[in-house]
Each structure stands twice: as structure tokens, then as C-alpha cells.
Amino acid sequence: MTTSPSPRPPLPPFDRDSAIQKVRLAEDAWNTRDPARVATGYTPGSVWRNRAEFLSGREAIVQFLARKWARELDYRLIKELWAFYENRIAVRFAYEWRDDSGHWFRSYGNENWEFDGNGLMARRIASINDLPIDEADRQYRWPLGRRPDGHPGLSDLGL
């Protein structure tokens, strides 16, 4: 017997407040850097385009994220709502990370998300660019994990 996945509120159709909440929940999950935990927010058959890589399914997502965070050390992310409509949300984001040689980067991007009726992401389309930065130019200096509530967002930081 197949069971339906548990709902992941907020559920579509989104209003402004629920879309902002959904974006923050996604940011919080990604800032755990726990591939298995992050993957639970996606449908079992979720389809992704991340840069030039195409993925399908939770296991592929887990493998992708494990590779990503093995390479992108000290990862810290901020997401911001850009637009929403019914079961779709568009976000812009920036994250800071360093490679194993100690070189720092800020990666900028946009994502388009589509959710199923249970609030799980069925489609994620991401475009991302990496900018080398000096360590002194970092703006995300909170302890690893969830961005503190009082920390400025992207617009506040002028990003």
C-alpha cells in the first residue's frame, strides 16, 4: 500500500506571507548542509536543473548535495522571495563558501520552484554564477547553520 507524503506547509496556493515563509524554510534547510534532510522537501520524482546539471529524484538530489557541500566549505546561504503565483515561487539568492585552498566565493543566482499539493517541490530550475571574493569582503559571518533572525537579508546587504 502506497501512502501519500505528509504535507509540508505552507501549501499552495501561496500568498505573500506563505511564500516568504516557504522561502525561509528552504533557506534554513539548505543551511543545515544535510543532503538527506534537504531532499525531504522535494517530491520523490523532483526534477532539477542546477547550472548545467540535470537531476531527477531524491537520491540524485542527495548525491548532488553531498558533492556540492564536500566542495563548498563553510557554506552560508540567504534566499529572498522575488515573485509567486499559485503553486510557483521565484527566489534570488546568494551564498558564500570557500574551497579547500581557502579561496572565498559568493555565488549569486535565481531559482524557479514549482510545488505539488502537499507543499513538496516538484521542480527546481537554478541559474548560478560564482564571484571570487577576498575573505575580508565576506558578509555572512554567523555561526554555521541557520541564519539568525536579526541578520540582514540580501536587499539589506545591497546584494
pLDDT in tens, the chain (159 residues): 455 678 999 999 999 999 999 999 999 999 999 999 999 999 999 999 999 999 999 999 999 999 999 999 999 999 999 999 999 999 999 999 999 999 999 999 999 999 999 999 999 999 999 999 999 999 999 999 999 999 999 999 999
The CATH architecture assigned to 16-140+151-157 reads Roll (3.10)
Which single residue is written with the C-alpha cell 571570487? 132
pTM over 0.85: yes
Domain spans, the chain: 16-140+151-157
Q: Helix, strand, or coil here: 29?
A: helix
Amino acid symbol at 69: W
Residue 59, phi then psi, degrees to nearest 5: -65, -40
- Give the pLDDT of residue 60: 98
Q: Which residues contact 122 (CB under 8 A, 6 or more apart)?
A: 42, 43, 45, 46, 47, 114, 115, 116
